[in-house]
Structure 1
C-alpha cells in the first residue's frame, strides 16, 4: 500500500481520536524513514515540550521539556521549512548541543503552523546515521504531516472553544430568572408573577387573560405552537417545553422558553400552570455560536479544498517539467531534446505563475500585502502586457487591440507592479476563454471629479459568463461553471486576486457578459498625475539584438544554496563566462572581494551569517584606491518595488528576481561596463 494511501486511511478514519491518529502517523513516519524516535512538540518561548512521542524503550514521556535551542528543531524553525540530515557527525551541526548530549545522527522534521503561527514541530530521529540521504519525497511527506497536524490542532481548538461556549450558555440558562404563571379554569382567572409581567413588558395594572396571553406570541408558527401545546395539555395531559418569540408591550421581539402542564380532577383539566423565561440573549448567542460553528467548519473545508486544489494544479506543470527532463536523459536526437526542454520550460513558467498566485492570494488574505507608490508610464505598462501575451494570442489567431485616451498617455502615480498584475490577469483570462475574434484593451484616465480615476477595460469575444455564474467569479478557487475548470483548467485564483487588489486600491471591478458573445471586465481606482522622472528610460533595452560576451569578465556568485549557484553558473556559461568564483554567505563574499578583483558580483539577498544587503554595503566600503568596485546585481525571490528599492539603497546596481529568466539576465548584463556587446545584423 502506498504511503499516501496509508496516510489517507489514517487521517480520514471516523473511529479514531486525534491522539490515536497522531500516534498512527508517527508510527507510519518511523516506518517510512526507518528511524527510531518520533515526536510532536509544542514550542513556547524557548521551551520545547513533548506532546506526542514514540521511542524504542519508552524512555521519553509526554510532557518532557527541553531548552529549544538545544534541539535540532531550532534549525527547522530557522529554515522555516522541512529539514533533514542523515549524518550529523559529518555536518556543520556536529557541535550542536543536541548532537553532543544525545548523539542523534539522523533527523528529519517540519514546522507545525496553527492559525498562521508557529506551534511546534513533527520530527523523527535516530542515534544511527542513515545509510542513504533523505529524499525530496521524504521532505514532502514530513511537511504534509506537519500541515495536517497543524490544521487538526486548529480544528480541535475551534471545537473546544465552541464546546466551552455551549457549556457557558447552559450555565447561564440555569441561573436565569424565571417567571411563573397559571390559568385557573374553575375561577376563570389567569395569574402572572412579577417576573412574568416584566418579560411581557406590562405593568401591575395589566389584567392577563388566556386570549391576550396567547396574543403576545408572534403571529404564525409561534402563536400556533403555544395554542397547540395548551390544547394538548388540556385534552391529552401532555407537558410542553418550547421556545418561541413573543412581542412585548413595547413592540420588542424576544425569545422565551415556555414550560407548562395541566392539573386534573376526575379526568378533567382544572388548571394549566408553568413558567416562562426570557432567553433572548441566550438564544441569540446560541444562534451566533451555531453560525460561528458553521463558519469554522466552512473554514476547515476551505482549507482542505485549498490543499486539494493546489495539489492537483501543481501536479500538472510538475508532471510536464519532470517528465520532459526524464525524457531528455537518454534521448540522443537533438531536435527531440530541444522539444522536450521547451515543454519543460513552459511547464516551469506555469508552475511559477501558480506559485506567485498562491503567494499573492495568501498575502492578500492575511492583509500582508502593501501597495507601493511611484511614477510610471501607463502607455509603456500596457505595451509590456500586450507584449507578454502577444505570443499566446498569435498562436490562437486572436488580435489584441489597444485604445487609450490622451490623458492615459501622461505619467501617473500609483503601484505599477500591481496595476500590471491586474491588467495581465484580465488579458490572460480573455485570451484563455476566447477561441475566435479579438481582445480589446481600453485604458482611460477619467477626470470628472477632483481625484483622477484610472479605468481599465478588457473586452473579449469569448465564451461569455451566465448571469448565475457572474456572482461566483471573484470567489477564490471558483470559475463559475464547474465545466469551465474541467475544460480550461486553472485554480480560479486570478480574478479573486484582481478583486482583492482593486479593494486594496480603494477601487472597483465590474463585469458584463453574455454567453457565447464575450465579456467585458472594467476596473477603476484612484490615481494621481505625475511628472516623468529625468532618469527614467521609458524604452526597454533592445537586448534581443545584442550578442553579449562575458569571456573577459571575472564573476563572483554569492548564494547559500548550491543549486542556485549551479543554475547561475550554467546560465552565465551560455554567455561565455569562464572565470567564476563562488561564495556561500556574505562574510565570504566580502573577504573574496577584499582579496580579488571582480567585474560582476551576483548577490543573494537572504543568507546566513551576513545577508546580501550588509555584504554589499561592506564591499562598497572597500578601498576604491587600490581596486575597482564591482557591478553588483541582486538575486532575490522578493519582487515588490519596495524590495527593489531596498537593494538599490544597499548599493546594488540592478535587480534579478528568482527564478532567473535568461532574457532578464541578458538585460541586466547590458548595463555592466565590463561586458562586451555586439549588435547582430
Structure 2
C-alpha cells in the first residue's frame, strides 16, 4: 500500500480522535523514514515543548521543554521548510548542541503552521546514521504531515471555540429568556420551545400554528410587521429582526424581539425558524431613559437660556447701581446726589428682587421652602401690595384697585408672606404687560365656615395671551412667546413661583385671557379663619426708636467692604463703640479680652468660621443669657442655614445684602 493511501486512511477515519490520528501518523512516519523517535513540538519564543512523542523506551515525556537553539528544529524553522540530515557527524551541524548532548545522527522535520502563524514542528530522528540521504519524496511526505497536523490543530481550536460559544449561547438563552420556534412547511407543523410557550403565556397543551402565532401580535402595525417579515423571508430570502408588542394568553401586553430567517431548497422556502425574546422590561426602561434624556436635554437647554436671561436681567439694575454711584463721585449738587442715590437704591432693590426670585424658585424646586403659618389681616395685606406697586402704576398711568368681599372677618390663618408674594408677583406681571388701563385685585373667601377657600384674582387690560401660549405660562423661564420676552424682558420666573407656591398651599392657579383684551389670573387655596384677639399681637402704631450709643459692638467679617457697610448702617442708630475683626479666631480672642453687647458674626470665614466661633464664645460665658447678643450675617438663606445658626448659639439671623428695616427688626431687643 502506498504512503499516501496509508495517510489517507488514517486522516479520514471518523472513529478515531485527533490524538489517536497523530499517534498513527507518527508511527507511519517512523516506518517510512526507518527512524526511532517521532515528535510533534509546540514552540513559543525560545522554548521547545513536546506535545506528542514516540520513543523506543518511552523515556521522553509529553510536556518536556528544551531550549529551541539546542534542537535540530532550530534549523528547520530557519529554513522555513522541510529539512533533513542523514549523518550529522559528517555534516556542518556536527558541533550542534543536539548532536553533542543526544548524539542524534539522522533527522528529518518540517514546520507546522496554524492559522498562518508558526506553531512548532513535526520531526523524526535516530541515534544511528542513515546509509543514504533522505529523498525528495521523504521531504514532501514530512511536509504533508506538518500541513495536515497544522490544519487539524486549527480545526480543533475552532471546534473548541464553537463549543464554548454554543455553551455560552445556551446559558445566555436561559438567562435572557429566549425561546426558539420553527415553521416546517413540508410537514405543515409549528414548533415552539418551552420558553416560547412561557413568553406567550400558554401551556404544553397549546398547539401552535402559523395563524394563531401571528394572532398573538397586537393588531395593527405590530401584527402587520410580523406578517410582512414572514412573507419577505419566504419570497425574497430576507432575514428579520424586529421589536413588536404581543398580547399573551392572559391579556398582558409585552414587548418582544423576534428574529427569523428562511431555509430554502431549490429556491423554495421549506422552513422558517428563529427566536423570540421577552424584552418588555428593557424596552420600557429604554423608553423611560429616552424620556429622561429628552427631559435632561430640555433642562440643560432651559438652564442655558436661564443663565443667559439672568445675565441680561442682572445688568439692568447693576447698570443703574454702578452708574449712579459713579455719577455721585464728582457731583456737588446735594439734590443731584440724592436723586442719583435714589436711583441706585431702587436699582439695588430690583437686584435683590431678582436674586430672591431665583432663590425662591430654587427652594421651591428642591422642596426646601416651608410654610410659616400665622394669622394675618387680608385687607391690610392687599393694601400693602397696592401701596407697594402704586408708584409703578402712576408712572405708567395705570389705575390700581382692590376689591375685598367681607365674609365675617378679614382675619385669616395661613402663610401671609407667601400669600403676599403670590399677589405681588401677579400684580407685577400685570403691570409689565399692561400699557394702558387698570389693574384690579379681587379677594374673596368662598366655601363654608368649616372649609373656607381663599380666592385671589388679578385682572389687567393688557396685551393678553394667545390660547396656544397659555399652556407654557407657568413653566420656569417662560413668558409664553419669545417675542414677548424680547420686548418686555424679565426672567419668566414670576408666574412659575406663583404656580409652585399654589402647589405648596395645596391650591391651584388658572388664567383667563384673550389676545389684545387683557388677562385674569385666579388663585384658590384652602384657608382657615383666625381670631384677631387670640392669634395676633396688637400692631405697633409707632416705630420704636433704637439707640446703640451705649452698646459695645463687635463686627466679624472677612470682607472689609461688608464691615464698612455694616459700620455705616449701625452709625445710623447712633453706634460709636464698634470693634472690627476679620475671622472667627480673632472674634473669640476679642470676646475673651472685652465684653460686648452685640456681635455681628459672618458665618463663612477663613481660619475659623462663624459657627465654631459662636460655640467658643458661648462656652466662654457658660450661660447663653449672659453672653453677647449674636446676630448671624450670611448670604445663605435656606431654612437649614437658619437652623444651623440657631443651633450654634446665635440669637438672630440677617441675610446679605443687609436691609435697614431687617437690621432694625434684629435690633428690637435694644429699643429705648
Q: Distance in 1 between matches of 2:617 and 2:447?
A: 47
Q: Residue 492 of structure 1: CA displacement?
A: 0.9
Partner of 1:318: 318
Contact 1:378 1:412 (8 Å CA) reproduced: yes
Q: Distance in 1 between matches of 2:283 and 2:532?
A: 62
Match of 1:556 among 553, 559, 564: 553
Cα 1:462–1:249 change in 2 (3 A) is same
Contact 1:325 1:340 (8 Å CA) reproduced: yes
Q: Residue 396 of structure 1: CA displacement?
A: 1.2
Within a 5 Å distance, the mapping from 1:363-378 to structure 2 comes to 363-378=363-378
Larger deviation: 629-638 or 176-185?
629-638
Cα 1:636–1:413 change in 2 (3 A) is farther
Partner of 1:29: none
Cα 1:419–1:193 change in 2 (3 A) is same
Cα 1:202–1:339 change in 2 (3 A) is same
Cα 1:511–1:172 change in 2 (3 A) is farther
Q: Distance in 2 between matches of 1:386 and 1:173?
A: 72
Cα 1:512–1:278 change in 2 (3 A) is same
Match of 2:610 among 608, 611, 623: 608
Q: Distance in 1 between matches of 2:430 and 2:652?
A: 34
Within a 5 Å distance, the mapping from 1:336-351 to structure 2 comes to 336-351=336-351
Q: Distance in 1 between matches of 2:187 and 2:668?
A: 106
Task: Give the TM-score of the pair, scaled to structure 1.
Answer: 0.63
Partner of 1:568: 566
Partner of 1:528: 528
Partner of 1:269: 269
Q: Distance in 1 between matches of 2:640 and 2:294?
A: 40
Cα 1:650–1:409 change in 2 (3 A) is farther
Q: Residue 294 of structure 1: CA displacement?
A: 2.8
Write out per-residue CA displacement over residues 637-662 of structure 1, whole angstroms, 9 at most, x where no aligned residue: 57799999999999999986543344
Q: Residue 426 of structure 1: CA displacement?
A: 1.2
Contact 1:240 1:258 (8 Å CA) reproduced: yes
Task: Give the TM-score of the pair, scaled to structure 2.
Answer: 0.64
Partner of 1:185: 185
Q: Residue 568 of structure 1: CA displacement?
A: 2.8
Partner of 1:434: 434
Cα 1:242–1:623 change in 2 (3 A) is closer
Contact 1:233 1:261 (8 Å CA) reproduced: yes
Cα 1:590–1:622 change in 2 (3 A) is farther
Cα 1:230–1:573 change in 2 (3 A) is same
Q: Residue 491 of structure 1: CA displacement?
A: 0.8
Q: Residue 478 of structure 1: CA displacement?
A: 0.8
Contact 2:612 2:648 (8 Å CA) reproduced: no
Partner of 1:381: 381
Q: Residue 187 of structure 1: CA displacement?
A: 2.9
Within a 5 Å distance, the mapping from 1:328-477 to structure 2 comes to 328-331=328-331, 336-407=336-407, 409-448=409-448, 450-477=450-477
CA RMSD of aligned residues (A): 4.0
Contact 2:601 2:630 (8 Å CA) reproduced: no
Larger deviation: 478-487 or 288-297?
288-297
What SS does the corresponding residue of 1:187 show, helix, strand or coil? coil
What SS does the corresponding residue of 1:207 show, helix, strand or coil? coil
Cα 1:183–1:592 change in 2 (3 A) is closer
Q: Distance in 2 between matches of 1:355 and 1:555?
A: 33
Contact 1:614 1:650 (8 Å CA) reproduced: no
**Unaligned stretches of 5+ in structure 2?**
1-170, 604-608
What SS does the corresponding residue of 1:480 show, helix, strand or coil? coil
Partner of 2:199: 199
Contact 1:635 1:655 (8 Å CA) reproduced: yes
Q: Distance in 1 between matches of 2:644 and 2:259?
A: 70
Q: Distance in 2 between matches of 1:179 and 1:597?
A: 84
Q: Distance in 2 between matches of 1:247 and 1:203?
A: 15
Contact 1:372 1:641 (8 Å CA) reproduced: no
Partner of 2:287: 287
Q: Distance in 2 between matches of 1:563 and 1:623?
A: 31
Contact 1:317 1:351 (8 Å CA) reproduced: yes
Contact 1:631 1:672 (8 Å CA) reproduced: no
Q: Residue 569 of structure 1: CA displacement?
A: 2.7
Q: Residue 668 of structure 1: CA displacement?
A: 7.7
Write out per-residue CA displacement over residues 272-296 of structure 1, whole angstroms, 9 at most, x where no aligned residue: 2222222222322322233333333
Cα 1:659–1:555 change in 2 (3 A) is farther
What SS does the corresponding residue of 1:301 show, helix, strand or coil? helix
Partner of 1:34: none
Cα 1:637–1:254 change in 2 (3 A) is closer
Partner of 2:657: 659
Write out per-residue CA displacement over residues 439-466 of structure 1, whole angstroms, 9 at most, x where no aligned residue: 1112222242622222222111111112
Q: Rg bigger for which structure?
A: 2
Q: Distance in 2 between matches of 1:448 and 1:549?
A: 45
What SS does the corresponding residue of 1:435 show, helix, strand or coil? coil
Q: Distance in 1 between matches of 2:222 and 2:184?
A: 23
Q: Distance in 2 between matches of 1:179 and 1:254?
A: 15
Q: Distance in 1 between matches of 2:342 and 2:196?
A: 81
Cα 1:650–1:641 change in 2 (3 A) is same
Cα 1:638–1:442 change in 2 (3 A) is farther
Partner of 2:539: 538
Cα 1:416–1:646 change in 2 (3 A) is farther
**Unaligned stretches of 5+ in structure 1?**
1-170, 675-681
Contact 2:243 2:256 (8 Å CA) reproduced: yes
Contact 1:411 1:531 (8 Å CA) reproduced: yes
Write out per-residue CA displacement over residues 496-522 of structure 1, whole angstroms, 9 at most, x where no aligned residue: 111111111112212111222221112
What SS does the corresponding residue of 2:539 show, helix, strand or coil? coil
What SS does the corresponding residue of 1:226 show, helix, strand or coil? helix
Contact 2:368 2:638 (8 Å CA) reproduced: no
Cα 1:613–1:603 change in 2 (3 A) is farther
Write out per-residue CA displacement over residues 95-123 of structure 1, whole angstroms, 9 at most, x where no aligned residue: xxxxxxxxxxxxxxxxxxxxxxxxxxxxx
Q: Residue 670 of structure 1: CA displacement?
A: 9.1
Cα 1:536–1:376 change in 2 (3 A) is same
What SS does the corresponding residue of 1:407 show, helix, strand or coil? coil
Partner of 1:504: 504
Cα 1:615–1:404 change in 2 (3 A) is farther
What SS does the corresponding residue of 1:506 show, helix, strand or coil? coil
Contact 1:602 1:635 (8 Å CA) reproduced: no
Within a 5 Å distance, the mapping from 1:12-23 to structure 2 comes to none
Contact 1:408 1:444 (8 Å CA) reproduced: no
What SS does the corresponding residue of 1:270 show, helix, strand or coil? strand
Contact 2:599 2:628 (8 Å CA) reproduced: no
Q: Residue 378 of structure 1: CA displacement?
A: 2.1
Cα 1:387–1:559 change in 2 (3 A) is farther
Partner of 1:479: 479
